[in-house]
Amino acid sequence: MSPPWVRSGRSLITSDVPVGLIPHPQDDNPWSGVGFMTAWGITFPRTRKLGLLMSDLMVIAEQVPVERVRAGHIDTKQRGATALEKLFNERTTNSASIWLYHHPADGKFVPNDLPDASPVTSAVMGTPD
């Protein structure tokens, strides 16, 4: 029997750079300068049916004591849904360097619009490529 947060109808893909960054929704230009310290959220597919979504702690920092956060009291489990699957798979696809990986039965979950391969995942501004 599957754990209660697993939904068997949707699947997650992964890549050679499986960590995806989600910009803050209020950002005027959401793709400029999104990094681990400035991202609203971070996606990480763990298995075909389980993903980890981490979000900005500063949103709740003033309302919840840090000790409760460290103890995992505000962590939640959520059933899979189409919107979450698409969010994870789009972020995974956009962060991939060269390779996407999926179970042979899960090809339909790979987004249609794939970016070009990008073996360089970060660069210093103002320097030659």
pLDDT value of position 114: 86
Residues in the chain, overall count: 129
Tokens standing for residue 57 = 């702690």
- The domain locations on the chain are 14-109
pLDDT value of position 46: 94
E runs forming strands in 1-129: 14-15, 20-22, 41-45, 51-55, 100-101
Q: State the Cα angle at 106 between 100 and 110, rounded to 5°.
A: 45
pLDDT at 6 over 50: no
- 3-state class (DSSP) for residue 100: strand
How would residue 8 be classed by pLDDT, with cut points 50, 70 and 90? low
pTM score over 0.85: no
Half-sphere exposure (Cβ direction) of 50: Cα atoms closer than 13 Å:
7
What confidence tens digit (pLDDT) does each residue in 19-41 have?
Answer: 999 887 777 775 566 777 788 88
> Burial, 47: exposed, middle or buried (Cβ in 10 Å; 0-12, 13-18, 19+)?
exposed
Per-residue DSSP letter, 62: T
pLDDT value of position 47: 94
Kind of pairing, strands 100-101 and 51-55?
unpaired
pLDDT value of position 5: 46
What confidence tens digit (pLDDT) does each residue in 80-90 have?
Answer: 889 999 999 99
Give me the mean pLDDT over the 37-66 stretch. 85
Give me the mean pLDDT over the 96-109 stretch. 92
